[in-house]
Amino acid sequence: MALDSPAPARRQGDGQRSIGQYLVLAIVAAIVIGPLLMLVRTSLLPEGRLPLETLEISFENFRAVLTDPDLPVLLANTAFYALGSVAIGTVIATALAWLAERTDMPGRFGIRLLMFTWMAVPPVILGFGWILLINPGSGILNVFWRALTGGDGPFTIYSIWAMIFITSFSVIPTAFVMIGGLFRNMDPQLENSGYVHGGSAGVVARRITLPLLTPGLLSVGIYVFIAVVQAFELPLIVGLTARIPVLSTRIYLLSSPDVGVPNYGLSAAFGIFLLVLATLFMGLYFRVVGAGERYRIVSGKGFRPRQTKLKRWTFPAMLVSGLFCLLMLLPIIVLLWTSFLRFYELPSLAALERVSFATYREVLGRSAVQGAIGNTVLLVLGASTITMVLASLTAWYSLRGSGWVARAIDVLSFSPLAIPPIVMAMAILLLYLRTPLYGSVLILIIGHVTIYIAFATRTIASALIQLNKELADAATISGAGFFTVLTRIVIPLIWPQALNGWLWVLAHSARDLTIPLLLMTNANAVMSTVMWTLWDVPNLPGAAALSVLLVLSLLLVIVPAQIFIARASAKSQ
């Protein structure tokens, strides 16, 4: 038989595989390194020059950053803002996650549903809603307070505390999902052996449960901290009016000032400053995660965690967690109300008569909005699909590939995690400013692929790692080629995780304001930027109507897809 002849052939598939490997490396390098090089070059520009105009190098921008009298304020604001949000957010998330995963509280499913679908809610919308709720003049809660007590309303949106408060609510779902995983994966035997050997509930919680969870909680805390330091949208909406500058908004203001010309060089220098900070924290994160590996508490699946019976605490627990959920939903409810009005007014019986779909009709009738909706669909589908395809290849080659190429792909695909979106947006702006791509939807897609590739690659990589290698080997032994193994075995087994990743990128791409705002022209407006523009006019009902439409359409995609995924993965287990 011809196949058995000892022809000097290299292992079949090796050739094409290494070409694919280099191709993926080239693409990932281009989208990640290209903008960063541009950022560095711009930060080293002499004043008033544009990149590629000159070869001159100047450290003037960095000198300006480091001697800026505002720098201590910026750093202090950023640190206080991030620490405050993380502290409040993780404490509430831990409490909710414990109630939802480890107790018999009724309504646990509702909390989980809310947390898992929360990615449909853009942070921008939270900002809008809370401004309507607690601005000092006409904020709904303040008005109610006045009506009840006669005194001035105690709340104000325009303070760092309000910023921290709102941001902590926006990080609760992420922290909840991560911490919930920690609770779920903890082997109950570790706690049971504590009880068996005479420990009381308090002792077990203090000496066993908490120490086991500490590395995990710490890593969640640092992860959220990095996210908040990088956060741009809420500081933009709340912080600009309140004159509470943080690093991310400073970068934006320098590159897109309301008056005057953009100072790209200084903005880039601030960007690099923020990038270095974020990288340092990322290093810390990996150190902590490394420690978490030593505490590895994930034992095989299929065990049922110990459930605490709340007994007489059931009602108070329900009340408090219900209140938290209501607080999370409040801004959305307010926007819903606003969207049914032609002109914004406070909720009242009289106003109820003026409720109609008129604003929806008016907003949807605008050609700019129709264009933006088309662009948004293009953007989210393009970004999520391209990201997942690239992430699958990246994960595959970094796990199954060999040598320095695999490692380079791994590091490159991971590094965008440390790059704040606002910095990446700046860098992409600088790189493509004078190319035909600028002003197109394609540039937004490139931006989103770059900032979401790290998360998507991790999703696929963890699915591939969990996939027993023998499953693919068994197909190879049976005589199947590379593509048959991929299409018949690997993809059918990891598609739920891949679809989850796709959904995540899709939702985040639709939510994101950072990239579209920095790269916005008349031609490539999307839902989030139009919302922002309407809000700025101000056309509050218009912005509210678009917000509601965006959240609703995301929910319509996310909820059925997640139920489908949950059913499918339950079936094959």
The footprint of other proteins (CB under 8 A) covers 1, 3-13, 468, 470-471, 473-481, 484, 488-489, 492-493, 571-573
67/573 with CB nearer other proteins: 573
The residue type found at 68 is: D
Q: Within 440-539, where are the H helices?
A: 441-466, 469-477, 482-484, 491-511, 514-518, 527-536
The dihedral sign for the CA sequence 413, 414, 416, 417: positive
| Distances 481 to 17, 262, 301, 396, 477 between C-alpha atoms, Å | 13, 55, 32, 16, 10
Cα end-to-end span (Å), the chain: 42
Task: State the minimum distance, in angstroms, from the CB of residue 388 to other proteins.
Answer: 20
Nearest to 135 by CA among 449, 442, 540, 552: 540
User: Minimum CB separation from other proteins for residue 495, in Å?
Assistant: 9
CA 14-15-16 angle, to 5 degrees, is 100
Q: In this complex, which beta carbon is closest to other proteins, that of residue 20 or of residue 107? A: 20
Pull the structure tokens for residue 534.
Answer: 């309407």
**Measured from the CB atom, is 259 or 570 closer to other proteins?**
570
CB of 480 to other proteins, least distance (A): 4
Least separation in angstroms between residue 499's CB and other proteins is 14
Output the smallest distance, CB 424 to other proteins, in A.
Answer: 33
The CB-side HSE value for 537 (13 A sphere, CA atoms) comes to: 14
Q: Residue 298: phi, psi to the nearest 5?
A: -85, 110
Give the count of beta carbons closer than 10 Å to the beta carbon of residue 269. 28
Contact 328, 130 (CB under 8 A): no
What's the length of the chain? 573
User: Token digits for 550?
Assistant: 């965006």
Q: Which is nearer to other proteins, 262 or 492 (CB)?
A: 492
Report the largest interatomic distance among the alpha carbons of the chain, rounded to a whole angstrom.
96
Based on CB atoms, which residue is closest to other proteins, 493 or 555?
A: 493
The encoded tokens of residue 315 equal 């009602």
Distances (CA, A) of 299 to 136, 158, 189: 52, 47, 10
Task: Report the nearest approach of other proteins to the CB of residue 498 (Å).
Answer: 14
**How many Å apart are CA 97 and CA 101, to the nearest integer?**
6
Give 522 or 572: the residue with its C-beta nearer to other proteins. 572
Nearer to other proteins, 2 or 537 (CB): 2
Nearer to other proteins, 63 or 400 (CB): 400
Q: Which residues of 94-119 are buried (b: 16+ CB within 10 A; e: fewer)?
A: bbbbbbbbbbebeebeebbebbbbbb
Residue 486 CB, nearest approach to other proteins (Å): 12
Q: At closest approach, how far in Å is the CB of 506 from other proteins?
A: 24
257 or 492, CB closer to other proteins?
Answer: 492
CB nearer to other proteins: give 4 or 56. 4
DSSP H helices, 157-263, are: 160-184, 188-196, 201-204, 210-230, 233-234, 240-242, 247-255
Coil, strand or helix at 151: coil
Q: Which of the 8 DSSP states describes residue 298?
A: B
Among 423, 402, 380, smallest CA distance to 527 is for 380
Q: Which is nearer to other proteins, 243 or 571 (CB)?
A: 571
Cβ nearer to other proteins, comparing 247 with 494: 494
User: Nearest Cα to 320, choosing from 48, 54, 92?
Assistant: 92
Q: How far is the CB of 395 from other proteins (least distance, A)?
A: 20
Q: What's the min distance (Å) between Cβ of 387 and other proteins?
A: 25
Q: Which among 214, 101, 223, 218 is positioned nearest to 174, based on CA atoms?
A: 223
Structure tokens belonging to residue 355: 């409720």
Cis peptide before 245 (omega within 30 of 0): no
Nearest approach, Cβ of 219 to other proteins (angstroms)? 23
| Residue 7 or 55 with smaller CB distance to other proteins | 7
Q: Cα-flanking dihedrals φ and ψ of residue 103, to 5°?
A: -130, 175
CB of 532 to other proteins, least distance (A): 44
Question: Minimal distance in Å, beta carbon 184 to other proteins?
Answer: 20
